[in-house]
Amino acid sequence: MSRYLALPKGVTEAAFTKAITEYRTLLGEGRVRTDLASLSPYIVNSIAESDSLHTPSAAIYPTTTREIQSIVGIANKYKTPLWTVCNGENEGYGSSAPATAGQIVLDLRNMKKIIEVDRELGYCLVEPGVTYADLQNYLTSNKINLWLDAPAPSANVSILGNILERGSGYTPYSEDFLFSCGMEVVLANGTVLKTGMGGIPNSTSWQVFKWGFGPYVDGLFSQGNNGIVTKVGAWLMGAPPPGGYKPFCIRFPKNEMLPNIIKPLMFLRQAQIVPNACALVNAGWETATRFANDRRNNGRFINTANRVIPANKLVNRNVGAWNLYGAVYGSPEQVALNWMYVSGTFKQAFGNKISIITENEAKGDPAFEYRKQLMMGGVTSRNPLDSWRPGYGSMKFAPTAAARPGECAQQAKVAAEIINRHGFDYLSEFSFFWYDARHTVDLRFDRTRPEEMKRAHACFNELISAFAKHGWAVGRTNTAFMDKVADSYGPAKQRLNRTIKKALDPNNILSPGKSGITAG
């Protein structure tokens, strides 16, 4: 019986022991862990697969780029794969467990330097372990009037990690990868690459000009495994003047209103009258947000039959079947004018069938306050859906729709039918960007019940297959389904990804299996 919880595929215990010895010589005993207590956080996840399929062999904790260069040298020598995480927050997508058992978790949480925040131009340069809470505290303590763009929840989320996963927030800077600028990357052969303008000695524009010269390569390191990113630049939004931010919520009482919401909304978005990524949230998701801290039921919405309250009954608690959150920004004069246009547009389209809510009408509604904070880059610490169903199971299904009324409505219909048929609840948020609507569905289930785990896995599998048949692409997924989603994009893309991987990482040591990509 092995002394280790798992071993990398194709690596003997003797070879692995030699590798661990060299890692410990480099980093010290305390920063190379193989014991169960230390590895438990990297084993437990929320997806509908056995933890044993994703058990790591070890966890190591570098603190510098130079240490990572030495680590990849040892990894190449012994063929010990490294599954890179920034701090373990990856809720609904596999947490920090590796794609396959036996990989070493390379945890970058101790690389926590905020290297630079430029007040004048509004950008930052940070290491992987810097969270949104860390940067927010830095801005506040140094009286720097810049806004983050944070996902929900975000307090413990790595800024670099969210950018690399192409995550998004809810401010006008919501496309987080687009608003990144310049990376430092350790390649599999130990070379340090600075992208964009970073290769120029003493560059003054590394964090202000994305493109540099020649092919743009930053995308090779997003949602991929071609290098270990050790620094990233990000643009921060200048805060509007006092009176220059007005959040709003519009509640729509009927599910069938969905397509009619989108046409006026997309006009307002593309005209930049409403410049932020608006969230259109269904009744279940909204109710969980609104009552997550309700002491009367400890934040749970489970009835005595262990089922959630049906969405059609939640509408009666001043929650819409659909709930639209957006904001207007600018000078106070711009805000007043644009708000008249926004409210007038929806009143003309829906008359008195809808409820239009601003801070004046919200009166402390926690759901409104939560969205208000997100749309101004506020950092939040709790996912309101955590209380929806017992058992801690969560898999986020994240397809993209063209932001057309009929397509979004059809996606909602197809998703709800599949999810309900498998015995789960359709918990949904559409986020509207420039031309696309990102449809996030959180499949919540009980991981302590094997039968429910099996149903959840089958449900998620069917969602991917059904959406692919409609031509709806999934933009991000959990480790259990990365191969299936990669297959849906076709063989040409797979061949290209594999060719790049083989060229940059011939020993397949960097997160093999990430996004369905290996060098094998």
Sign (positive or negative) of CA dihedral 466, 471, 476, 480: positive
Between strands 58-60 and 104-107, the pairing is parallel
**Tokens matching residue 423:** 């015995």
Distances in Å between the Cα of 259 and the Cα atoms of 252, 255, 264, 266, 271 are 12, 9, 10, 11, 19
Architecture of domain 13-108: 2-Layer Sandwich (3.30)
**Tokens matching residue 399:** 């397809």
Tell me where in the chain the CATH 3.40.462.10 domain(s) lie.
Answer: 245-476
The CATH number for 245-476, chosen from 3.40.718.10, 3.40.50.300, 3.90.700.10, 3.40.462.10, is: 3.40.462.10
Lowest mean pLDDT among 189-198, 386-395, 503-512: 386-395
- The backbone torsions φ and ψ at residue 177, rounded to the nearest 5 degrees and listed phi first, read -65, -40
Distance, in Å, from the CA atom of 91 to the CA atom of 414, rounded to the nearest integer, reads 24
Query: What would the mean pLDDT of 273-292 be, rounded to a whole number?
Result: 90
Domain at 114-238, CATH class: alpha beta
pLDDT at residue 490 above 80? yes
pLDDT, greater one: 289 or 478: 478
> Which of 271, 375, 384, 265 minimizes the C-alpha distance to 319?
384
Cβ contact 34:5 at 8 Å: yes
Tell me where in the chain the CATH 3.30.465.10 domain(s) lie.
Answer: 114-238
Sign (positive or negative) of CA dihedral 318, 323, 328, 333: negative
pLDDT at residue 300 above 50? no
pLDDT at residue 378 above 60? yes
Place 55 in a pLDDT band, splitting at 50, 70 and 90.
Answer: very high
Lowest mean pLDDT among 104-118, 166-180, 313-327: 313-327
Q: What is the CA radius of gyration of the chain?
A: 23
pLDDT at residue 296 above 70? no
Q: Which residues pair with 82 in a beta bridge?
A: 104, 510
**Tokens matching residue 58:** 């070890």
Residue located via tokens 């990376």: 183
Threshold 0.85, pTM exceeds: yes
Cβ contact 155:379 at 8 Å: yes
Query: What would the mean pLDDT of 100-116 be, rounded to a whole number?
Result: 97
Distance, in Å, from the CA atom of 63 to the CA atom of 230, rounded to the nearest integer, reads 10
